[in-house]
Amino acid sequence: MKGRRAIGRRFWQGVALAACAVVPALACQFYQPRPRHRYIHIQSFRYGKEPAVIRCNRGDWLHLTFSTRDTAHSFFLEEFDLDVKIQPHAPGDRNPVVAVYRTSEPTAAPRLVRQVVLRAEHPGWRRFVVSKSHYRCHIWCGPMHAFEHGSLIIRPNTLLWAGWGLVAGLPVIGLVSVLSNREGGGGHVATDESGWDVLGAWGWLKRLLRWRGLQYTAIAATSVVFYIVVLAALFGTQMAGRNLGVMLTWVVWMFLLVAVLTPLGGRIWCLVCPLPGLGEICQRGAITGVRLGRGAGVRNRLFGLNWRWPRWLDRDWLPAAILLGMGTFSTALVARPLVSGWLFVGLFLMATVLAVVFPLRAFCAHLCPVKAFVGIYGKAAKLALRPADPAVCASCRVRSCQWGSGRGWACPYGLCVAEIRDNTECGLCAECFKTCPYDNVALRWRPFAHETTMRTAGEAWSAMALLVMATVYCLVHLGPWPRLRDYVNILDKANWDLFAVYAAVVWLAALVGLPALMWGAAWLSRRWGRLEESSGQLTRHWSAPLVPLGLMLWIAFVVPMVLVNWTFVLQSFSDPLGWGWDFLGTANAPWHQIWPAAIPWIQVACVVVGLYYALSNGWRIARRLAGDARRAVAALAPVAGLLLLMAAGWVWFFAD
């Protein structure tokens, strides 16, 4: 009976939430002024367009004229089957002749006109739901060519109002739910032990994980790809959109890491990462074999100096600081393949040298910038490595999983399975499946965004820094404002003075801005909820809801990278070095995006889903801290308010 009531409650909550989106989306349709003619001149330049945003009403007639300040450009608007090529012209000619192509027939002869007339309305039902389109440039004009784009906003903006309705409705529905629940809300919370036992269901996977050749077979495959990436980045074309190294790393790999591997598998990328492979082979003196011995506090023989890692460098915030430093120069990394190539070489050499100087995977555990991302956001992952039976681990004295045995190597991260409480540190190397004499290591498939604890202030700051990075990346790389991109252009414009301002703002936001906002929310939470813990401790607790929210914002960032650039990925596969090859017959494929009209909807959906999990986890934390439901609501209120403001801002950014 209780289960049927819970299902019914969830059903009506879903209906109410749908109404929060549908009602404002329908209401905004009644605001639709009569169509009018708008005369707009679009000027292209490195690297942007003026106006950067075109706002109009549904049904308006847009009379577009074009010019360029420097080199050739294009006005590529696939949703309207339009690709306008603008060539350099006489300085005084404000209305030059342009060539108009159809994106659906790019090889057909163009129309030569001085003005393009466009009806701001999509056909059929799409006119009511598609409110935002991006116009881009399809003629390479410099290293930051990929960031040259603008936005066409057609009002009424259905997506904006539907998104804001969901953001406003989530906390209201949640509040009504928890206050009307006799137990005060919360409900059943799944534990790691109650998650689905993956290995119990799939025996073949357990056998695979025990196979000694698993990791290095996978690393050998990714090492081949890594070699190709470095080769293409260093010796291939320096046009980023046609360089296989850039496309594989910053489009394909980044999308898979952010949107697939981390949300589902946590740190599963560490299982196949090529960076530590060579160093670990040198350290162990073996590929698949196991050596017993003494040294470095483990039962296996490790070659090298085996120095103890410096205590002053043993900081869990250090990888995030390194990632933030790299992220500050992200534009140069993406736009200059040579910079990316040398970065990859440097990371590989660092991992290899440190493996000879320090025991185990020192680089991976203490310095790796990718670990900063997969470690923090791995907390939200569905896959988790845990003890199959905690009681068995509690009675174990040999700790083979941590110190190694004749059947397997010591944990490369120095972990004991019995002490693993979250996904931050475990790199899923699978050694513990081989070393455990009791077969007591399990893989659990659990609910998304399950973990709600931050062990240290360093972890809390890492979550804040990653959220700041995601926000900055979205503003700079996805935003339509060319002036903002001037602040990061240290390539052909050498704007080092503006870049210094940009770097200072980014680091201040990560070090001071967001932490100060979170501390202020924690201070109010302590007062309103009458909590006993200090504001600093509460700041650490309240940073946990930033994990699912931040991860979903990162997914919103990488989605257009694949959907917009997939043609260039195919082109670079066919001509990996940009030397005129055409292995697959796709080197000259015309540019087509994947469902561009859906991209803003996917991004807003990511924000709403992230907000849902952030509020849900916030409620679980509030109940844990306050106990009483009403005190928990009061304690959560300031944090929820901050989360709502951030989510509403991101909905506006992606929808409008």
**Per-residue pLDDT tens digits for 92-122:** 777 899 999 999 999 999 999 999 999 999 9
Averaged over 338-355, what is the pLDDT? 97
Q: What is the pLDDT of residue 49?
A: 94
Q: What is the pLDDT of residue 556?
A: 98
Averaged over 184-211, what is the pLDDT? 78
Q: What is the β-pairing status of strands 37-45 and 61-68? A: parallel
559, burial (CB in 10 Å: exposed 0-12, middle 13-18, buried 19+): buried
Cβ partners under 8 Å of residue 554, min gap 6: 258, 377, 466, 470
Residue with token string 């080197």: 587
Residue 164 host element (H or E) = helix 158-180
What span, in angstroms and rounded, lies between the C-alpha atoms of 42 and 51? Answer: 6
Averaged over 224-228, what is the pLDDT? 97
Better-scored residue on pLDDT, 268 or 494: 268
Q: With bands split at pLDDT 50, 70 and 90, how would you rate the model's confidence at 491?
A: confident
Averaged over 589-601, what is the pLDDT? 95
What's the half-sphere exposure (Cβ side, CA atoms, 13 Å) at 208?
9
What span, in angstroms and rounded, lies between the C-alpha atoms of 577 and 172? Answer: 54
What span, in angstroms and rounded, lies between the C-alpha atoms of 315 and 404? Answer: 25
Q: Which CATH architecture has domain 39-156?
A: Sandwich (2.60)
> Would you tell me the crossing angle of helices 369-377 and 318-328 to the nearest 10 degrees?
110
Tell me the C-alpha to C-alpha distance, in Å, between residue 441 and each of 57, 161, 501.
Answer: 60, 48, 50
What digits encode the pLDDT tens for the residues 517-536? Answer: 999 999 999 999 999 999 99
Cβ partners under 8 Å of residue 481, min gap 6: 48, 52
Averaged over 271-290, what is the pLDDT? 95
Output the DSSP codes for 473-512: HIIIIIS--HHHHHTT--SSS--HHHHHHHHHHHHHIIII
Q: What sign results for the dihedral spanned by CA atoms 516, 522, 527, 531?
A: negative
What span, in angstroms and rounded, lies between the C-alpha atoms of 529 and 631? Answer: 5
Q: What is the pLDDT of residue 188?
A: 47
What span, in angstroms and rounded, lies between the C-alpha atoms of 407 and 640? Answer: 49
Assess contact for 383 and 205: CB atoms under 8 A.
Answer: no
Secondary structure (3-state) at 334? helix
What span, in angstroms and rounded, lies between the C-alpha atoms of 546 and 551? Answer: 8
Whether residue 190 is predicted with pLDDT greater than 80 in this model: the reply is no
Q: Where are the domains of the chain?
A: 39-156, 160-188+457-655, 212-387
What span, in angstroms and rounded, lies between the C-alpha atoms of 43 and 49? Answer: 6
Count CB-CB contacts under 10 A for residue 459.
23
How far does Cα 358 stand from its chain's mean position? Answer: 31
Better-scored residue on pLDDT, 189 or 514: 514
Q: What is the pLDDT of residue 98?
A: 95
Averaged over 429-451, what is the pLDDT? 95
Question: What per-residue string of b and e applies to 86-124 under the rule 16 or more CB within 10 Å gives b?
Answer: beeeeeeeeeeebebbebeeeeeeeeeeeebebebbbee
- As a 3-state breakdown, the chain gives helix, strand, coil percent values, each rounded to 5, of 55, 10, 30
* DSSP state letter for 146: G
Whether residue 192 is predicted with pLDDT greater than 80 in this model: the reply is no
Q: What is the pLDDT of residue 187?
A: 44
What digits encode the pLDDT tens for the residues 20-61? Answer: 999 999 999 998 889 999 999 999 999 999 999 999 999 999
Cβ partners under 8 Å of residue 314, min gap 6: 366
Output the DSSP codes for 395-448: H--S-HHHH-BTTBPPPTT---GGG--SSSS-----HHHHH-TT--EEEEE--T
Whether residue 372 is predicted with pLDDT greater than 70 in this model: the reply is yes
Q: What is the pLDDT of residue 9?
A: 81
**Token pair listed for 511:** 């070090």
Q: With bands split at pLDDT 50, 70 and 90, how would you rate the model's confidence at 650?
A: very high
Whether residue 2 is predicted with pLDDT greater than 70 in this model: the reply is no
347, burial (CB in 10 Å: exposed 0-12, middle 13-18, buried 19+): middle
Q: With bands split at pLDDT 50, 70 and 90, how would you rate the model's confidence at 147?
A: confident
Averaged over 328-348, what is the pLDDT? 94
